[in-house]
């Protein structure tokens, strides 16, 4: 996802899905034959990757939610890493 346009719309690669684990009090990414425990930031980002929001919209929503600015580089870097790991795909 490096050098991707902020207009692109990422979504979880199927059949992956998100689940909040109450016992662990953390977000979990459920993938075929593995489970990934996510930190709060990663969970918040992936929860917004629904294929409808652009990367720019994700950034704006997360900066508002966390009351911070300047998160673009961190979010884009995380999305690139998630795509490389096969967690995300871009919507056509």
Provide the 8-state DSSP code for 31.
Answer: E
- Alpha-carbon distance of 33 to 8, in angstroms, equals 28
Angle made by CA atoms 16, 71, 41, in degrees to the nearest 5:
40
Residue 3 has pLDDT above 60, yes or no: no
CATH number among 1.10.10.1150, 3.20.20.70, 3.90.550.10, 1.10.1040.10, domain 10-85: 1.10.10.1150
Residue 72 pLDDT grade (very low, low, confident, very high; cuts 50, 70, 90): very high
pTM, to two decimals: 0.89
What pLDDT is attached to residue 1?
Answer: 44
Residue 5 has pLDDT above 90, yes or no: no
The mean per-residue pLDDT over the stretch 81-91 comes to: 94
- Alpha-carbon distance of 4 to 31, in angstroms, equals 24
The mean per-residue pLDDT over the stretch 36-59 comes to: 96
In sequence order, which residues have a C-beta less than 8 Å from that of residue 50 and are 6 or more positions away? 11, 12
Provide the mean pLDDT of the chain: 93
């Amino acid at each position: 996802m490096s050098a991707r346009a902020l207009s692109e719309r990422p979504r979880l690669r199927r059949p992956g899905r998100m689940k909040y684990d109450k016992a662990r009090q953390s977000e979990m990414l459920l993938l075929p034959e593995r489970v990934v425990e996510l930190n709060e930031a990663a969970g918040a980002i992936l929860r917004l990757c629904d294929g409808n929001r652009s990367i720019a919209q994700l950034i704006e929503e997360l900066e508002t939610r966390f009351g911070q600015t300047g998160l673009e580089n961190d979010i884009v870097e995380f999305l690139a890493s998630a795509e490389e790991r096969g967690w995300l795909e871009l919507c056509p």
